[in-house]
Amino acid sequence: MSKEEIPKDYDFKKEKEWEKKWEDENIYKYIGDGSRPRYVIDTPPPYPTGAIHLGHVLNWVYIDMNARYRRQKGYDVLFPQGWDCHGLPTEVKVEETHGIKKNDVSRAQFRQYCIDLTTKNIASMKADMKAMGYSQDWTREFVTMNPEYMKRTQYSFLKMYEDGLIYQGKHPVNWCPRCQTAIAFAEVEYSDNTTFLNYVNFPPAVEDSYNDIASSQESGKQADPKEEGILIATTRPELMSACVAVVIHPEDERYTHLLGKYVEVPLSHQKVKIIADEEVDPEFGTGAVMICTFGDKTDVSWVQKYDLEVIDVIDDSGTLTAAAGRYEGMDLQTCKKQTIEDLDSEGYLLKKEQVDQNVGQCWRCKTPVEILLKEQWFVAVRDLIEKTKVAANEMNWVPEHMKSRMINWADSMEWDWCISRQRIFATPIPVWYCKDCGKVILPEVEDLPIDPTVDKPKHACECGCEEFVPEVDVLDTWMDSSISPLSIAGWPDEDYVNHFPSDIRPQGHDIIRTWAFYTTLRCIALTGQKPFDDIVINGMVFGEDGNKMSKSRPEFVVGPEEVIEKYGADSLRTWAANSVPGSDVIFDWKDIKHGYRFLRKFWNAFRFISMQIFDEEISYDDVKDNLGPIDLWILSKLNNLNRTVDEAFAEYNFAETITSIERFFWHDFCDEYIEAVKYRLYTDVSDESRRAAKYTLRTVVETSLKLLAPIAPFFTEEVYQYFSDESIHTTSWPEVYDELINEEMENKGETTVELIDEVRRFKSSAKIPLNAELSEVNVYTSDEDLVDVFNQFDADIKGTLKINDLAISSGKPEVHEKIIEVEPDMSQIGPKFKGDAGKIIGYLKSTPIDEIGSVLDESHELTIGDIVVPEDMLNIKKEIVGASGKKVDILQSENLDMIVEVIR
């Protein structure tokens, strides 16, 4: 093979060709026959939004590098890809696209809209993933909306129901008025907001009114708004019609005299009792709080604790009900505005002050959530918390501190997991209700999956009734995705145990409290085992402005396709690789360009040496006795690099892999070794030395390619085709040659490289071509070890620097300054010596420079007749000469005990 057969530049556009070849040859297929150790990846199933973003890139590059590395290490890798289709994201998009709400069309039509959109989006995202070089086994693809997956989800529901871990009950739930569905606490996002804290007087209730909560209007006597009662500071005055008590701290001396007494709620006029609870913060607002049903989690806790009445003032759509009195039919924002105006006009509002607020909102549509009392299905989370924490502690978390997020979330769980949703596009809850007795009717396992709105039970109810009411609610989408490791393993088939637990769960830190938590809890409930051994967490991607990339700031959003078009997928992958698990990553174009330059550097180095490394087959045994010291240096570093990268991949320390490879290949190999062996390739040296250099060059390039292959699969495949017809991605991890690892030789090599670099820097600064010959170089040092090192590497020093005569000596050079030119400084001589200036000029021109130099060295002045010229009135040019009397350049190393004398 000749260098001319290799293109001058690396063409990343060929990535598409390799993508197709890999797919055609199905080289990433999981075999599963037990002939190799298995490695199972519990791959995140993303929502099919239609395009992957840089967060996906970061996450899946982590996954793909690990998968490729494990294959090279001899594992049979199960790397499936799933799609988490169901739930709000898709439904919200369908409603936006078609300009409808879910109930505007039939359930079947709405579901078909969702299926059509999802199918289209999956195809698009799948193409994006392939363009990134991800090595999934697409024959193992799973889609949560398909019957096979829905069957598993429904079976898991039945099993947990029969075990008492799923139940139905009427409890307060987080409710999205826009999506009109319950959502779990883990799906509530919080955003900062500015609002007003309204200081409202709750006047003392009229004494002869009812003793229980009732409207004072019924007694015909209302409290005086101006009579001092208890001052409440609230950000939600629109909920006062649902107020059922006022609570203070039991040790708050301002209010203890009021305990057990009643006040009247402004505007709605119900009478409520003042009670005490230690949860009240006396420092916030006025230290007195109204309990509403329901404003927040604390209200729920107090209502349950003190068995208070529940007043439903908000309906499913966020509209005020008849219980809100004069505000019936208003939306919440209109009600708040009108309530504040009424409080002011009727004399209840004392003042307002602006405050910062943390508002809970729906994770998909960003609508503020409300807490409503609803009949829903729940997972008994609190029964499984301790087992879930034990399982979390059994896993290897990368980074370790991310485990605390899961443990802290588990410890904070006060409510069970609400798993029913009032939507359509999701896995149906597989139950019916007997029309007569209301008993829950379950399907047969062999009939799953079922849709209770379409299918019917096979048998009559125990009471004899044959009419059934279908459950129209569906399951939370996390009920689908939280069994991903079980689905991948083939559960509930008996042999699922061969693939469960998964070896690894890779995911973002933003879904630890959802996907990681729910998966662990559900697998504990269904199998009694942790779901995976390792959990590797990736961070979020931030834009160049330092903020998280978001659709709300499109000017700072960069799509993967834009990067691929300009620099190729591998440049983007090197950016992703150069990050630390758990940490957020800033996207910067200069990092992409750096990765691109590195790949081009690699290509150029490979192309340069290609003429030398392919003309004959040379094995290690052929050259091991003829390897020169510079060969042994780079080969030791190469094998140490192999160990470092191997260990870093195994520990998910991806940044260490790419930085170590770049540092070695770019600096040690390209900048130092290649330059140091050129003379052995192109000048008259022994055949043994030339073959040793060729072997070393090829070994370094081929080994480096295999180390780099998990990170830059397209590039390494393109280069490796010149080495073999086999795909680099079906080769094994390169062997480490322990006998070649030599710390002493590495130190000696680094020392020699320092000397070579010192002289090369001198050539560059002196505008001497790097390939120009130097007549003589003398190295002086007081370190005898350095003398031995330089003598051992003398051939490489001479050959690399084009030195005709190299001498290594102990001690210091014998050099001195020699005056080689003296000119009069006429700006000084003219004014002072005037007419005698000509004598001075004549003397300088007629007298040998050596004679002038001797006089100046001795007396630092010139005496010409009766004229005395001081040295500072002369322009003197000197040069350094060595013991031989030849002009020399002196180089003083900052890092080594040496002085270098260069004779050009």
Low-confidence ranges of the chain (pLDDT < 70): 1-4, 208-220, 550-556
Residue 532: CB atoms within 10 A of its CB come to 26
Q: What is the largest CA-CA distance in the chain?
A: 142
Predicted confidence at residue 187, as pLDDT, reads 81
Predicted confidence at residue 883, as pLDDT, reads 77
Q: Are 132 and 574 in contact (CB under 8 A)?
A: no
Q: 3-state DSSP call for residue 694? A: helix
Predicted confidence at residue 683, as pLDDT, reads 86
| 672-704 tens-digit pLDDT | 999 999 999 988 899 999 999 999 999 999 999
Strands (E), 165-287: 166-176, 181-183, 188-202, 230-234, 243-248, 262-264, 271-276
Whole-angstrom Cα distance, residue 362 to residue 639? 53
Structure tokens at 688: 């043994």
Predicted confidence at residue 243, as pLDDT, reads 97
Residue 175: CB atoms within 10 A of its CB come to 26
743-773 burial code (b ≥16 CB/10 A, e <16):
eebbebbebbbebbebbbebbeeeebeeeee
Predicted confidence at residue 262, as pLDDT, reads 96
Task: With CA atoms as reference, report the closest residue to 776 among 798, 749, 794.
Answer: 798
| DSSP, residue by residue, 718-744 | HHHTTT-SS-GGGSPPPPP-GGG--HH
Cis bond leading into 284, ω under 30°? no
Cis bond leading into 237, ω under 30°? no
Task: With CA atoms as reference, report the closest residue to 290 among 228, 358, 241.
Answer: 241
Residue 614: CB atoms within 10 A of its CB come to 17
Half-sphere exposure of 182 (CA within 13 A, CB side): 23
Q: Are 91 and 102 in contact (CB under 8 A)?
A: yes
Residue 195: CB atoms within 10 A of its CB come to 14
Whole-angstrom Cα distance, residue 252 to residue 94? 53
Q: Tell me the CA distances in angstroms from 724 to 43, 661, 729, one per residue in order.
A: 32, 22, 12
Predicted confidence at residue 220, as pLDDT, reads 54
What amino acid is encoded at 113 in this protein? Y
Residue 812: CB atoms within 10 A of its CB come to 11
Which residues on adjacent β-strands are paired with residue 824?
874
Whole-angstrom Cα distance, residue 661 to residue 707? 8
Predicted confidence at residue 4, as pLDDT, reads 56
Whole-angstrom Cα distance, residue 674 to residue 684? 17
Task: With CA atoms as reference, report the closest residue to 838 among 856, 826, 847, 851.
Answer: 826
Q: Are 700 and 640 in contact (CB under 8 A)?
A: no
Q: Decide: residue 467, CB within 10 A, 0-12 exposed, 13-18 middle, 19+ buried.
A: exposed
Task: With CA atoms as reference, report the closest residue to 829 among 838, 819, 837.
Answer: 837
Q: What is the pTM of this model?
A: 0.86
Sequence-distant (6+) residues with CB within 8 A of 848 are none
Whole-angstrom Cα distance, residue 785 to residue 287? 79
